[in-house]
């Protein structure tokens, strides 16, 4: 076969049809048709394979891109929500919000050397701000019996309450999980550190003790009647009474306090929050609390201030009664002065001491309706009006002696027995 100036031998198997229109054109068409058909079939199969491989890869990439976009948007919304919630919380608190780093510097990074004590809310630290002001910083503990709800409750209440016998809250700090309350610093710490330790009890003469009793009564009257809110403290005790430079009392720790509205006089709860030895019978047993349950706690506190002894954890010899039972027994025997703290010697005014014991016994009556309100208590303590005779108090006997005091959210009342 002659192809231009070059001769080639082409081997072909299979039928070939020849046409007279020219050997080259005929051969080219037949061979080209065959080659194009073959190539077309190969290309079609390769395309299917390529689609089968690339389509899953494309879908996988699409899913990954979608997932990354979704996660990014979700994180951004969550961050914006957190920032918004944090801002709203700070606005709702109605208190100055200090930067957490400021509190860290003021307390030397919450140094153990700055630690003042431990409460149900968390540890309390002494600090000094840049302007020289001394503060007490109460830091919410992760394993605290109280939590964020109690923290917010205390901040909101303290922001609305202002009285010389209530602790003053200077501000708060909220940063992520860190929550800190900033109080005015009380150099003499709490009342229990004076009453129940022999080395300190002598520092409280009778005029100072009476001033403390009267100051606590004024603070409670403000909470119950004179403030724009009606507040039930629910955890009044010696360790929650702080003392300033001149030993004036300040009621503190409003984490479990409740606010009453309108004509509400009492409330019931399934979760009893408070401290053994200070709770009224109806509250400890049935979860029923009111202003009269605070009055009961006040009565216990007065007997502790007069005697220098705890109500709970100490059973008196010969009769196995607690402080309430011991005071009642001495009252019936007409020997109430035997209750007086020995460290007072003969420096007290007999009429004032006896009157305080009398008022305290009226406050710890078994039934709420037999207890006076705080307005009447103030009147009884400050005047010579005739007082009603007390009946037998509630919670005279402890089934077992437990040293110290304990606070908890849900109390078991089988430890105590009302008579």
Distance CA 196, CA 206 (A): 15
Buried b (16+ CB within 10 A) or exposed e, 270-299: eebbbbbbbbbbbbbbebbbbbbbbbbbbb
> What dihedral do alpha carbons 81, 85, 86, 87 form, nearest 10°?
100
Please report, for the chain, how many H helices and E strands are present, in that order. Answer: 11, 17
> How far is the C-alpha of 123 from the C-alpha of 145, rounded, in Å?
12
| pLDDT band at residue 278 using 50, 70 and 90 as cut-offs | very high
The reported pLDDT for the residue numbered 83 is 54
Question: Quick check: 268 pLDDT over 90?
Answer: no
Q: Which of 42, 99, 109, 235 is labelled catalytic?
A: 235
Measure Cα distances from 25 to 11, 30, 259 in Å. Answer: 17, 9, 106
User: What whole-number percentage of the chain has pLDDT above 70?
Assistant: 77
Buried/exposed code over 55-81 (b: 16+ C-beta within 10 A; e: otherwise): eeeeeeeeeeeeeeeeeeeeeeeeeee
Nearest Cα residue to 386 out of 359, 349, 348: 359
Q: What pLDDT, on the 0 to 100 scale, is given for residue 11?
A: 57
Evaluate whether 120 touches 140 at the Cβ level (below 8 Å).
no
Predicted pLDDT of residue 304: 98
Residue 67, pLDDT above cutoff 90: no
The listed range with the strongest mean pLDDT (20-34, 53-67, 90-104, 401-415) is 53-67
Average pLDDT over residues 215-221: 98
Q: What is the mean pLDDT of residues 172-182?
A: 89
Contact between residue 364 and residue 236 where contact means Cβ atoms under 8 Å apart: no
Q: Distance between CA 409 and CA 131 in Å, rounded?
A: 38
Q: Is 334 a catalytic residue?
A: no
Terminal-residue alpha carbon distance, the chain: 132
Tokens of 386: 């005739």
240-254: pLDDT as tens digits: 999 999 999 999 988
For residue 313, name the pLDDT band (cuts at 50, 70, 90).
confident
Average pLDDT over residues 197-201: 77
Asked if 172 and 181 count as a contact pair (C-beta separation under 8 A), the reply is yes
CA distance 379 to 342: 28
Nearest to 308 by CA among 216, 200, 401, 196: 196
Using CA atoms, how far apart are residues 361 and 392, in angstroms rounded to an integer? Answer: 8
Taking the C-alpha atoms of residue 121 and residue 337, their distance in angstroms, rounded to an integer, is 38
340 backbone dihedrals φ, ψ, rounded to 5°: -65, 140
Band (pLDDT 50/70/90 cuts) for residue 407 is low
Q: How far apart are CA 358 and CA 331, in angstroms?
A: 8
- What pLDDT does 12 receive? 53
Residue 124: is its pLDDT beyond 60?
A: yes
**Residue ranges of domains in the chain, CATH in brackets:** 100-184 (3.30.200.20), 192-417 (1.10.510.10)
Measure the CA–CA gap between 38 and 21, rounded to whole angstroms.
Answer: 25
pLDDT band at 77 (very low <50, low <70, confident <90, very high): confident
Q: Is the pLDDT of residue 159 over 60?
A: yes
- pLDDT digit string, tens, across residues 280-308: 999 999 999 999 999 999 999 999 999 99
For residues 356-380, average pLDDT: 97
Where residue 229 falls among pLDDT bands split at 50, 70, 90? confident
Structure confidence by residue, pLDDT tens digits, 7-62 = 555 555 555 554 555 555 444 444 545 544 555 555 566 667 777 777 788 888 88
pLDDT at 386: 94
275-279, 317-321, 391-395: least confident range: 317-321
**What pTM value is reported for the model?**
0.73
pLDDT of residue 160: 83
pLDDT at 20: 52
- Residue 151: the pLDDT is 81
Report pLDDT for 29: 47
What values do phi and psi take at 8, rounded to 5? -135, 145
């Amino acid at each position: 076969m002659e192809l231009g100036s070059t001769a080639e031998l082409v081997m072909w198997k299979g039928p070939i049809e020849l046409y007279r229109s020219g050997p080259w054109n005929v051969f080219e068409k037949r061979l080209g048709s065959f080659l194009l058909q073959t190539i077309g079939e190969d290309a079609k199969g390769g395309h299917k394979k390529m689609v089968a491989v690339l389509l899953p890869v494309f879908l996988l990439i699409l899913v990954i891109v979608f997932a990354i976009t979704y996660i990014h948007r979700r994180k951004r919304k969550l961050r914006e929500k957190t920032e918004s919630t944090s801002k709203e919380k700070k606005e709702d608190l109605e208190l100055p919000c200090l930067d957490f780093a400021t509190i860290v510097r003021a307390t030397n990074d919450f140094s153990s050397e700055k630690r003042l004590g431990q409460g149900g809310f968390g540890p309390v630290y002494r600090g000094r701000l840049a302007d020289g002001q001394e503060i007490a910083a109460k830091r919410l503990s992760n394993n605290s019996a109280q939590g964020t709800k109690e923290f917010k409750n205390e901040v909101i209440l303290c922001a609305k309450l202002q009285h010389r016998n209530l602790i003053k809250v200077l501000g708060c700090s909220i940063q992520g999980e860190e929550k800190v309350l900033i109080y005015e610093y009380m150099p003499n710490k709490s009342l229990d550190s004076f009453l129940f330790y022999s080395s300190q009890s002598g520092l409280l003469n009778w005029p100072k003790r009476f001033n403390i009793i009267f100051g606590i009564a004024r603070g409670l009257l403000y909470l119950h009647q004179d403030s724009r809110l009606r507040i039930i403290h629910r955890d009044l005790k010696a360790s929650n009474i702080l003392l300033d430079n001149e030993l004036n009392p300040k009621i503190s720790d409003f984490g479990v306090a409740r606010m009453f509205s309108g004509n509400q006089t009492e409330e019931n709860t399934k979760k009893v929050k408070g401290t053994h030895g200070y709770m009224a019978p109806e509250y400890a047993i049935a979860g029923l609390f009111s202003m009269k349950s605070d009055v009961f706690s006040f009565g216990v506190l007065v007997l502790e201030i007069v005697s220098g002894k705890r109500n709970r954890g100490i059973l008196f010899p010969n009769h196995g009664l607690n402080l309430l039972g011991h005071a009642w027994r001495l009252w019936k025997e007409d020997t109430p002065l035997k209750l007086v703290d020995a460290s007072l010697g003969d420096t007290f005014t007999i009429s004032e001491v006896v009157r305080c014991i009398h008022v305290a016994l009226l406050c710890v009556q078994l039934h709420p309706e037999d207890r006076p309100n705080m307005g009447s208590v103030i009147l009884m303590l400050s005047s010579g009006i005739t007082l009603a005779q007390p009946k037998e108090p509630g919670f005279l006997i402890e089934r077992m002696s437990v040293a110290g005091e304990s606070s908890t959210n849900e109390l078991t009342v089988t430890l105590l027995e009302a008579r």
